[in-house]
Amino acid sequence: MKKDIHSVLSRHKNSIVTTVLFAASLPVMAEKVEIHTPNNSLVIELNKGKEPQFVYYGTRLTEHDRQTLQEPSTANWSHLQLYPAYGANHTMSETAFAMRHYDGNMSTDLLVSDYGVKAISDKAPNNKDRQGTLLTITLRDNLYPSPVHLYYLAYKDADIIECWTDIENKEKGTVTLSQFYSSCMPIRRGDVYVSHFHGSWAAEAQLTEERLNNGMMVIKNKDGLRNATTDRQEVMFSLDGKARENEGDVIGAALMYSGNYRVNIDTDDTEYHYYIAGINPDNSEYHLRKDEIFTTPRVAYTFSDQGLSGASRNYHRWARSYQLRHADKERDILLNSWEGVYFDINQKGMDQMMSDIASLGGELFVMDDGWFGDKYPRDVDNSSLGDWVVDKRKLPEGIDGLLRDAKKNGVKFGIWVEPEMTNTKSELYEKHPDWVIKAPGREPVTGRGGTQLVLDLSNPKVQDFVFGVFDELLTKHPAIAYIKWDSNAPVMNHGSQYLSMTNQSHLYIDYHKGLIKVCERIRAKYPDVVIQDCASGGGRANYALLPYFDEFWVSDNTDALQRIFMQWGTSYFFPAIAMASHISATPNHQTFRTIPLKFRCDVAMSGRLGMEIQPKNMTDEEKALCKQAISDYKNIRKVVQFGDLYRLHSPYSGDNLASLMYVTEDKNDAVFYWYKTETFVNQHLPRVKMRGLDPEKKYTIHELNSIDNTPLDCEGKVYTGKYLMSNGLELPYKHSVDYHKQNDWSSRVLQIKSL
Ligand code: GLA
């Protein structure tokens, strides 16, 4: 085993000896095993016949640090077992695992039986090659033969360690799992703040930052499908006082699951907070058959000493390399038909929208909901889901006609589907009423439109059907470049008509196993098509699904002001290249707020730019501004989509300003965004210091989307990176425009280029 892959520290009779060998053949002793990423180390103490113990997670250790590493429990008592199982030792504290054994025994005692570290080189779920170090720890109970395997995968070129668990049943028959968390991480008490995200439809990723106090914090979701609509499963811990964007130590923990989850942060009478996260066990007791293996979802941890933004950059780099499809390709600028025409789809209208987006400089047109249904045409939201055939009344020349028009207009073509769903008013439901999720013996409770139901993806026939929706579209029309995969209902009924009555509690879990199987099949056959992950907006922004998708719809709310807040929260864990952000009409269709187009463009340009509007209703002046924004975006697209994010000034700060920037890895190009979020006379806004530039380099400033009669004072001037980062630029709080064009909104986008 090479020394640069891992180090094993052996402690024997209080003396610590560095060794690059495993102690498998040595006498009984405790070993400290370290795995590391470029800048982080995780150290676990492994002692055969004892529980695995947390020792250290933080900045990468030096050789000297390894020699002197302290036992975390040196000063005070804490329980630092990494996978506490219920019943034998742990009954009073929170546990990660609980099982009713074959003989009815509810206690488990998971002790280290084997472990090993190896270099791995495999395919990440987005199909990219990855390299890292995998620590596997096998735990066994002396009374029972079922092993539990803990995995810790440290990436070679990303500061991420992924952890997950396999639970194997080797008993005489079926066992019942009632807790099956993915991972635990003790976090030293102190002045620890947790940043987490609450939300709702059209109000996703609302940030809450609070000090961790005694007691248990639970963050969870029980939607069944859209697990990022309400609370989010990703959290950041600021370890040394109130959360700061660009200073301080931060641990990030992103659970990577697509279904119901539960994140527990327990603070008891010991010296640590205990993070325990995984699948939500509520109503999900799992019967594991003999020889079956239950694999938990993963948790991706990071550590950064550069504040919240530093932790975000670690997630973004990892995501762009391994957790998102085609993240090395620039995203197309698109027009989506939804807010422009809603269900009013017809061939002429689609052709007009394609021609309009082409003339504005866009590259892709996406036809949203409303194009399908034969017996039951989809004119409103109460019918036809499942009947994925073109409505010939609206589109007499079918998808081929649309593809022809797209070609004529010089844009790519994309289409909306919601394949996991049906309506009681649909041919699919008439044919397969047994495919829907519903409680045994009861009429189904319906969702959107009063008729929507979820298909039961635990059923392999339903999996084939959902795959078939993609297969049919893409086989018949290989020129389709983009699919928006939507999902607009929760599981409102508990019951599978496919699962046995004994296994009804598997529904939530088996649904998501089925979903991932379908995603894998789609990607195996259609690796190139761009797929958007949408679920009533950002309801499925999660790292279990994103490896199969190219991006997600941040929110159905396109109001530029609320988007600043939602995109701010979303950016904690997800990179700009994945965040679909569209310019929409005014008054906004969700908040009815009227925001000038300039501000709307400036906000949309901080993510993956698109439009969600009827261009034919825009004035020539508005079209010209959008055309300019699209053309400018093409110049900064690489910086936004592949650059490093620095959040500079939080919209949550309460002082009416939000600011962020992206900087390329070579620090030659940057884009700076500045948004005034409220207006008062005699208002005082802080000057924003930039980040991430090279202090030694000189940069020119150029304002994009400028609407002012006179250029900014800094326009075209040259500043050192040092000046921009230690001082920042003064920006006027208002736009200098003619009197009749004045309004209460103000925003700036600055392109920054090194000389
Ligand atoms: C959901 C999506 C929207 C749109 C509609 C169509 O709400 O989030 O973007 O596609 O469905 O019904």
What pLDDT, on the 0 to 100 scale, is given for residue 29? Answer: 65
Handedness of CA 250, 310, 328, 671 (dihedral sign): positive
User: Quick one: which H or E segment has residue 59?
Assistant: strand 53-59
- Which protein residue has the closest C-alpha to ligand 1 atom 6? 369
Running DSSP on this structure, what letter comes out for residue 103?
Answer: T
The Cα–Cα gap between 81 and 108 comes to: 14
The SS3 call for residue 389 is coil
What pLDDT, on the 0 to 100 scale, is given for residue 77? Answer: 78
- Which protein residue has the closest C-alpha to ligand 1 atom 12? 369
**If you measure from the C-alpha of residue 512 to the centroid of ligand 1, how many angstroms do you get, rounded to a whole number?**
21
Out of 451, 486, 532, 540, give the residue to mutate to test ligand 1, the one with the largest number of ligand atoms within 8 Å of its CB.
Answer: 486
Question: Which of 538, 505, 546, 369 is CA-nearest to residue 448?
Answer: 369
**If you measure from the C-alpha of residue 351 to the centroid of ligand 1, how many angstroms do you get, rounded to a whole number?**
21
Handedness of CA 330, 332, 333, 339 (dihedral sign): negative
- Which protein residue has the closest C-alpha to ligand 1 atom 1? 536
User: Quick one: which H or E segment has residue 119?
Assistant: strand 111-123
Running DSSP on this structure, what letter comes out for residue 289?
Answer: P
How buried is 292 (Cβ within 10 angstroms: 0-12 exposed, 13-18 middle, 19+ buried)?
middle
**If you measure from the C-alpha of residue 341 to the centroid of ligand 1, how many angstroms do you get, rounded to a whole number?**
12
Amino acid identity, residue 479?
A
The Cα–Cα gap between 125 and 121 comes to: 13
Extract the tokens encoding 191.
């002045």
The Cα–Cα gap between 165 and 179 comes to: 12
Amino acid identity, residue 85?
A
Q: Are 158 and 183 in contact (CB under 8 A)?
A: no
Active site residue 486: yes
What pLDDT, on the 0 to 100 scale, is given for residue 22? Answer: 36
**If you measure from the C-alpha of residue 385 to the centroid of ligand 1, how many angstroms do you get, rounded to a whole number?**
13
- Identify the segments of the chain with pLDDT beneath 50: 1-28
- Spot the catalytic one: 381, 486, 510, 533: 486
**If you measure from the C-alpha of residue 349 to the centroid of ligand 1, how many angstroms do you get, rounded to a whole number?**
19
User: Quick one: which H or E segment has residue 680?
Assistant: none
What pLDDT, on the 0 to 100 scale, is given for residue 4? Answer: 37
Angle, alpha carbons 191-194-200 (nearest 5°): 155
The Cα–Cα gap between 272 and 71 comes to: 13
Query: Residue 70 phi/psi, 5° resolution?
Result: -85, 155
User: Around Cβ 619, how many Cβ atoms within 10 Å?
Assistant: 9
Q: Give the side-chain half-sphere CA count within 13 A for 566.
A: 31
**If you measure from the C-alpha of residue 381 to the centroid of ligand 1, how many angstroms do you get, rounded to a whole number?**
10
* Tens-digit pLDDT profile for residues 345-356: 999 999 999 999
Residues in contact with 694: Cβ distance below 8 Å, sequence separation at least 6, in sequence order: 667, 721, 754
- Which protein residue has the closest C-alpha to ligand 1 atom 5? 369
The Cα–Cα gap between 386 and 326 comes to: 29
**If you measure from the C-alpha of residue 553 to the centroid of ligand 1, how many angstroms do you get, rounded to a whole number?**
9
CA 416 to ligand 1: nearest atom: 10
Question: Which of 160, 102, 151 is CA-nearest to residue 130?
Answer: 160
What pLDDT, on the 0 to 100 scale, is given for residue 26? Answer: 39
Out of 372, 416, 482, give the residue to mutate to test ligand 1, the one with the largest number of ligand atoms within 8 Å of its CB.
Answer: 416
The Cα–Cα gap between 332 and 428 comes to: 34
**If you measure from the C-alpha of residue 548 to the centroid of ligand 1, how many angstroms do you get, rounded to a whole number?**
20
How buried is 97 (Cβ within 10 angstroms: 0-12 exposed, 13-18 middle, 19+ buried)?
buried
Give first-to-last CA distance, the chain, whole Å. Answer: 46
Out of 534, 552, 557, 563, give the residue to mutate to test ligand 1, the one with the largest number of ligand atoms within 8 Å of its CB.
Answer: 534
The Cα–Cα gap between 414 and 596 comes to: 28
- Spot the catalytic one: 231, 249, 556, 602: 556
Pocket of ligand 1 (CB under 6 A): 338, 368-369, 381, 416, 486, 488, 534, 536-537, 553, 556
Out of 345, 366, 369, 385, give the residue to mutate to test ligand 1, the one with the largest number of ligand atoms within 8 Å of its CB.
Answer: 369
- Which protein residue has the closest C-alpha to ligand 1 atom 4? 338
Extract the tokens encoding 177.
């799992």
CA 537 to ligand 1: nearest atom: 8
Residues in contact with 102: Cβ distance below 8 Å, sequence separation at least 6, in sequence order: 171, 172, 173, 174, 175
CA 612 to ligand 1: nearest atom: 9
Going through 387-543 in order, the beta strands assigned E by DSSP cover 412-417, 421-423, 452-454, 480-485, 530-533
CA 381 to ligand 1: nearest atom: 12
